[in-house]
């Protein structure tokens, strides 16, 4: 479980970095609160942070429930969840870099983020079905 917790902490730190980048961009481009529009680079930073928040909403419960169910079935749930979590972290970084350069180029990073959560949710559902049958 320690590996899963480590990945979760790293994901939250990554989110905090993205949030700090929004603040820096707000100052750099003189976007006064509560405005959320202005310079296109500020808006990209804000969108990266918002999308990461949306993805974390699925990722965080998915990594914990998958790890729990998989371990209860004697699968290597913690290890699989940690590997998928690393892919999620890399995907968020790729998404952020791509989105800052060209928002149209964000799809690889998005898929590297979305797929691990989807795999863990599907794995949890399969595990639950196996455990109740």
Residues 26-54 have pLDDT tens digits of 999 999 999 999 999 999 999 999 999 99
pLDDT value at position 89?
Answer: 98
pLDDT value at position 7?
Answer: 98
- Among 74, 72, 50, 54, which residue's Cα sits nearest to residue 114? 54
Average pLDDT rounded to a whole number, residues 87-115 = 97
How far apart CA 26 and CA 20 sit, in angstroms, is 10
pLDDT value at position 35?
Answer: 94
Q: Give yes or no for residue 123 having a pLDDT over 90.
A: yes
pLDDT value at position 133?
Answer: 86
Domain segments of the chain as ranges: 2-132
57-94 pLDDT tens trace:
999 999 999 999 999 999 999 999 999 999 999 999 99
- What fold characterizes domain 2-132? 1.20.120
Q: How many CB atoms lie within 10 A of CB 92?
A: 26
């Amino acid at each position: 479980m320690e590996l899963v917790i480590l990945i979760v902490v790293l994901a939250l730190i990554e989110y905090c970095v993205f949030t700090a980048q929004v603040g820096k961009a707000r100052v750099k481009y003189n976007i006064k609160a509560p405005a959320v529009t202005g310079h296109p680079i500020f808006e990209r930073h804000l969108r990266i942070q918002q999308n990461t928040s949306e993805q974390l909403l699925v990722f965080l419960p998915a990594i914990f429930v998958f790890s729990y169910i998989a371990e209860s079935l004697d699968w290597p749930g913690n290890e699989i969840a940690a590997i998928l979590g690393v892919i999620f972290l890399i995907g968020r970084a790729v998404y952020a870099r791509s989105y800052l350069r060209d928002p149209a180029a964000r799809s690889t990073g998005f898929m590297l983020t979305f797929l691990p959560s989807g795999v863990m949710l599907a794995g949890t559902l399969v595990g639950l079905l196996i455990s109740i049958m």
